[in-house]
A and B are shown apart, each in its own frame.
Chain A
Amino acid sequence: MTLPATDTNGGTPGRRAGLGPSAWSPQRMWSVAGAVVLVALVWGFYAWDGAQTTAVLGGTVRAATLLVLGAMCGMIGERSGIVNIGIEGQFLMSAFTAFTVASMSGSLFLGVVAGVSTGLAMGWMLAAMSVGLRTDQIIAGTVLNIAALGLTSFFYDRGRSLGQPKYQSIELGPLADLPVVGTALFNRPPLTYLALVLVVVLHVLLLRSVWGMRTTAIGEHPGAAATVGIDVIRLRYWNVTLAGGLAGLGGAYLALESVGTFTRAMSGGRGFLALAVMIFGRRTPLGAYAAALFFGFTTALQGQFQLNDTFDIPAQFVGMLPFVVTIIVVAAAGLFGRMRDPAALGQPYEVR
């Protein structure tokens, strides 16, 4: 175990505690400027072609919901010092159980419960492997991914259907009639609202609560955390398990709200995109949501491009877009404005 002798970021104490860049740092200025330009652009497109803009914005929120749930699962783990690259498998497995239970019971709600439970179980498995057995965390996550793909393929029943409509949109009164964002944000199915609430709640909890501080502590310096009486192993177990529930909700969302069925390997790499979203969002829920909207936007554009023939770009090249963007983001994050990982990320903690 090494002590971080100097803070190579030159970060402020606020940064340390995960509060993000201080009030008017250049980074924050850039973020604000970027947001203003983005809003102006969206408004312009809305004026130009309302229907298509609404469709793209709706698709953006739809794709972002899954990504932000996965990213929040990842960040709770990473803030505790555990890398989770098994989110893809957690999505897939929970989507499968959510779909199967909803189909057999005829209740979407029971499906969601099954999905979240599966996510919790897989979170516990990751914790058992990486915290308990001290398996390399990247390998432990890979095991989850391969296991989920194998199990869901084996038990996949091609003939099964949901047997009921998927979750439908609920209009939030007059808010849904707002221009531009009305339909995209306030005329959504229930799990999307739940995810939005979770983003805000988790943001406050992670950055302001005792639990959040303790979580940061065991990810930064588990040895020091232990000396002030935090049970590092126990908290890591709890955090990774509970975070799995978020990915489980994501899986349920994918099967029961976004798509309405289960298909083989339906998570399609979005569990990995969620990791990029997490990094891009600096491991905070609100930051991750902003990043998820950006990634969701590339996905939504892809869908829109494929629907109309305005642009003659082959579908495969449009399909690459989110993945190429991720590579650029991850590489750029390394080149400019280096982020600092939690100091104890990836290292097993052993009680001596």
Chain B
Amino acid sequence: MTRTVLRAAAVPLASVVLGLVLGAALIAVQGHSVTTAYGALVLGGAGDADALLRTLQKATPLVFGGLAVAFAFKAGLFNIGGQGQLLVGAAFAAGVGFGLEGVPLVVHLPLALLVGAAAGAAWGAIAGVLKATSGAHEVIVTIMLNFVAGNLTDWLAANPWQDRSGSNIIARTPLVKPSAEIPTWGWLPAGFVLAALAAFACWFVLERTTYGFEVRSVGANRHAARYAGISVGWIMASTMAVAGLLAGLGGAIESLGVDGRFEAGVNVGLGFEGITIALLARTNPIAVIPAGLLVGLMEAGAAKMQFESGVAPEIIDVIQALILLFVAAPLIVRWLLRLRDTDDRRLTLGAGWGR
């Protein structure tokens, strides 16, 4: 057991180390101190209770975003739409969060979460249904839906749902009511607990249920799955809906538990990091948790790193891209580490734009 886990984790771990080493080189070339920079990064992400809280808060949507990519991947679908699914989830959850009044917490909070999740699921399902009915490639459709969602949520936040209090001109909703706020217990945000539970739920569904078996069959070989009597169209559509649900839930928690409202342009980019995280976790739902924590820690510590060493926080994006490169092309890492070509199941998708 330990051996298999270690073997599976060898390439991702080596990729992280390589990414950090190249990041260090970049920092040194710019004339900053690497030890100060990385020291501040770690302290800013895990140095005290506040730092830990920040890391867990950052990690929550990242775990959800990673799950949204990983789950779809199991059916052979590449969901680049986490961004749009997250945005509609965040906006609609905030809409319910500030729009309802005088509702007890036990009703209000679950309802807001549910509406956010449903909005994300609907957004994901568009791509899934189009893929199943017309063969429209989900990569193109989800990317386009990201832009549509960006515009739609901007409009919601700037027009019907705009915060009209005082002289606010920012495109943002009012604060959600206390009855819709997700609590934080000390350094532990309840949203992160939900994220971890969602990861285990994904693992259970994929590995221990008939539905999960069908999803994985479609991912392994669409034609064989159809021949075996699995409704491929239904699996593709529903898988994308589940993926959207996960991303939407991440967005809902972001609005209800971290930002306290929805503001246009605040969550941009969050959805794309899900891709890195899912690939770093080699699309294993449980492994998405540590992958999300790692990226969350880097993002939580980036501000302190900039403050203490002067390194621009965008270095985090560069390190992430490098890690993604090494994870995606494991041959590089294997050649560097002289690792033998082990059980490595190669990450592949059905490419091509048609059915």
Contact = CB atoms under 8 A, between A and B. Distances in A.
Interface of A: 83, 85, 129, 133-140, 142-143, 146-147, 149-151, 153-154, 156, 269, 272, 275-276, 279, 314, 316-317, 319-320, 323-324, 326-327, 330-335, 338-341, 345-347
29 contacts: A136-B351, A137-B351, A138-B78, A143-B325, A146-B272, A147-B318, A147-B321, A147-B324, A149-B272, A149-B321, A154-B26, A269-B143, A272-B140, A272-B144, A279-B140, A317-B151, A320-B152, A327-B145, A330-B141, A330-B353, A331-B136, A331-B141, A332-B134, A333-B134, A334-B133, A334-B354, A335-B133, A338-B135, A341-B352
Per DSSP, chain A at the interface is helix
A92 B250 CA distance: 28
A260 B43 CA distance: 41
Contact of A327 (B136, B272, B354): B136
A272 B159 contact: no
Contacts, number: 153
Contacts of A331: 130, 133-134, 136, 141
B105 interface: no
B294 interface: no
B137 A330 contact: yes
Nearest to A334: B134
B139 interface: yes
Contacts of B143: 269, 272
Contact of A140 (B275, B317, B328): B328
B17 interface: no
B312 A327 contact: no
A154 B136 contact: no
A151 B328 contact: no
Given A316-B152, A316-B158, A136 B346 contact: yes
Interface residues of B, number: 53
A147 B328 contact: no
A46 B72 CA distance: 49
B137 to A, nearest CB: 7
Given A135-B328, A150-B321, A316-B155, A339 B144 contact: no
Contacts of A139: 78, 279, 328, 347, 349
B155 A314 contact: yes
A49 B337 CA distance: 68
Contacts of B145: 323, 327
Interface in B300-355: 312, 314-315, 317-322, 324-325, 328-329, 331-332, 346-355
Interface in B105-159: 130, 133-137, 139-141, 143-148, 151-152, 154-155, 158-159
B70 to A, nearest CB: 13
Contacts of B144: 269, 272, 276, 323-324, 326-327, 330
Given A135-B329, A143-B328, A154 B315 contact: yes
B320 A146 contact: yes
Nearest to A273: B144
A136 B275 CA distance: 14
Task: Count chain A CB atoms within 10 A of each CB in B78, B147, B152, B351 and give the residue with the most.
Answer: B351
A316 B151 contact: yes
A346 B76 CA distance: 13
Nearest to B155: A316
Contacts of B324: 142-143, 146-147
B151 A319 contact: yes
Nearest to A140: B328
Contact of A345 (B275, B349, B351): B351
Contacts of A151: 318, 321
Contacts of A272: 140, 143-144
Task: Count chain A CB atoms within 10 A of each CB in B154, B276, B325 and give the residue with the most.
Answer: B325
B275 A146 contact: yes
A324 B148 contact: yes
Contact of B353 (A143, A149, A279, A327): A279
Given A129-B328, A153-B314, A334-B134, A340 B351 contact: no
B354 A341 contact: yes
Interface string B242-280: 000000000000000000000000000000100110010
B198 interface: no
Contacts of A327: 130, 136, 140-141, 144-145, 148
B80 interface: yes
Contacts of B318: 147, 150-151, 154
Contacts of A154: 26, 312, 314-315, 317-318
A150 B314 contact: yes
Contact of B351 (A153, A317, A324, A347): A347
B328 A136 contact: yes
B140 A147 contact: no
Given A272-B140, A316-B158, A138 B349 contact: yes
Given A331-B130, A346-B350, A85 B139 contact: yes
Contacts of B130: 327, 330-331, 334
Task: Count chain B CB atoms within 10 A of each CB in A135, A279, A347 and give the residue with the most.
Answer: A135
Contacts of A324: 144, 148
Given A136-B346, A137-B351, A316-B158, 11 more contacts: A133-B331, A138-B139, A149-B272, A149-B317, A150-B320, A153-B314, A153-B317, A323-B147, A326-B140, A334-B355, A345-B352
A152 B279 CA distance: 22
A341 B355 CA distance: 10
A142 B324 CA distance: 9
